[in-house]
């Protein structure tokens, strides 16, 4: 019985040198990095492998870089498994990772997807210049406490990652005030995030028109396996649903906790994260300690997963 979900990380999981071992050892990975280079018209792989880190962190670069790394890992896994490769029960991704999940589900070609997320990053960068903002992760408060802080400060919920880890987004002064309030009300930790803008908030509103135009120009097929979306934590089944999800997701909260719980409720007992960093694996274990979680980022981790027999 297939009880496995494939999940894909979002922005912040990038690191200089990620995927270099895959590039050297796997034809599928090498072709993926070269396809990204050709699709974008510049050597993205060189930036990923060599840096500089500050340039890789730029939203317009990090988004296609993270997607390319994840798809290189996913394709390498398919290559290694061959006829034994198991189709997932479902796929999901965190923010940017949702776009990667669409590639894995056969909704959109990788070459189109990597150009789309490059455009998404450029639009988000420009929106951040025009309406500057900030984001912060808050640990140790429940959702009700956050909603009260949002009402008092004007910040918005950007990511509900676990029961006690929520990311807020908004005007820089409002975010700073919200962090102070959270600390005063018992938060274990408040962490300002190194991002260029207030993503997943209304400050990204001006980016929606450009993204809507970009997604309308592409062919979206019906998914080959269920894709659980970020906004409502439910499966997306048609091209129109997926287009609306991607555009609305710029300003709406990423409901990652509910997405994982939906997957577990549908019978998923094992999550495989494709990409670097292991961020999602850590979040999933905090959401449900009863599931198995693996992160696949190089051939050694793939061999370990294959040998586990799960």
Residue 7, H or E segment: strand 4-8
DSSP conformation class of 197: S
| 200 catalytically annotated | yes
Q: What are phi and psi for residue 289, nearest 5 degrees?
A: -75, -5
Spell out the alpha helix ranges (H) of the chain.
20-25, 27-40, 44-50, 53-57, 59-81, 96-104, 110-130, 143-153, 172-184, 207-216, 239-248, 256-265, 279-287, 299-308
- Asked if 92 and 10 count as a contact pair (C-beta separation under 8 A), the reply is no
DSSP conformation class of 214: H
Select from 302, 37, 187 the least CA-distant residue to 178.
Answer: 187
- Asked if 48 and 54 count as a contact pair (C-beta separation under 8 A), the reply is no
DSSP state string for 11-75 = TT---TTTTHHHHHH-HHHHHHHHHHHHHHTS-HHHHHHH--HHHHHSHHHHHHHHHHHHHHHHH
> Hey, is 170 helix, strand or coil?
strand
Select from 262, 276, 232, 263 the least CA-distant residue to 97.
Answer: 276
Tokens, residue 3: 């009880």
Among the options 200, 201, 233, 294, which is catalytic? 200
- Beta-bridge partner residues of 272: 6, 294
Select from 262, 220, 253 the least CA-distant residue to 112.
Answer: 220
- Asked if 101 and 91 count as a contact pair (C-beta separation under 8 A), the reply is yes
Among the options 45, 95, 196, 294, which is catalytic? 95
Catalytic residue numbers read 95, 200
């Amino acid at each position: 019985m297939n009880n496995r979900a494939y999940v894909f990380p979002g922005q912040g999981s990038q690191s200089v040198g990620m995927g270099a071992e895959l590039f050297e050892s796997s034809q599928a990975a090498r072709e993926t990095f070269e396809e990204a280079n050709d699709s974008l018209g510049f050597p993205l792989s060189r930036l990923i492998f060599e840096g500089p880190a500050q340039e890789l962190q730029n939203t317009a670069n990090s988004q296609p870089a993270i997607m390319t790394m994840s798809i290189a890992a996913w394709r390498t896994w398919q290559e290694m498994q061959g006829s034994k490769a198991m189709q997932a029960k479902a796929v999901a991704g965190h923010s940017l990772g949702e776009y990667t999940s669409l590639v894995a589900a056969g909704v959109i070609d990788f070459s189109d997807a990597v150009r789309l997320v490059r455009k998404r990053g450029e639009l988000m960068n420009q929106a951040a210049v025009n309406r500057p903002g900030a984001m912060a992760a808050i640990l140790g408060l429940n959702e009700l406490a956050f909603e009260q802080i949002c009402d008092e400060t004007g910040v918005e919920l950007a990511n509900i990652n676990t029961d006690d880890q929520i990311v807020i987004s908004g005007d820089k002064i409002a975010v700073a005030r919200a962090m102070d309030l959270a600390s005063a009300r018992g938060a274990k930790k408040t962490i300002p995030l190194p991002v260029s803008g207030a993503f997943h908030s209304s400050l990204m509103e001006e980016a929606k028109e450009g993204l809507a135009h970009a997604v309308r120009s592409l062919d979206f097929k019906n998914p080959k396996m269920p894709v659980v979306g970020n906004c409502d934590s439910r499966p997306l089944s048609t091209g129109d649903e997926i287009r609306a999800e991607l555009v609305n997701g710029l300003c709406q909260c990423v409901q990652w906790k509910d997405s994982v719980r939906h997957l577990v409720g549908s019978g998923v007992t094992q999550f495989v994260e494709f990409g670097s960093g292991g961020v999602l694996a850590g979040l999933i274990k905090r959401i449900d300690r009863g599931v198995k979680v693996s992160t696949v980022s190089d051939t050694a981790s793939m061999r370990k997963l294959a040998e586990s027999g799960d």
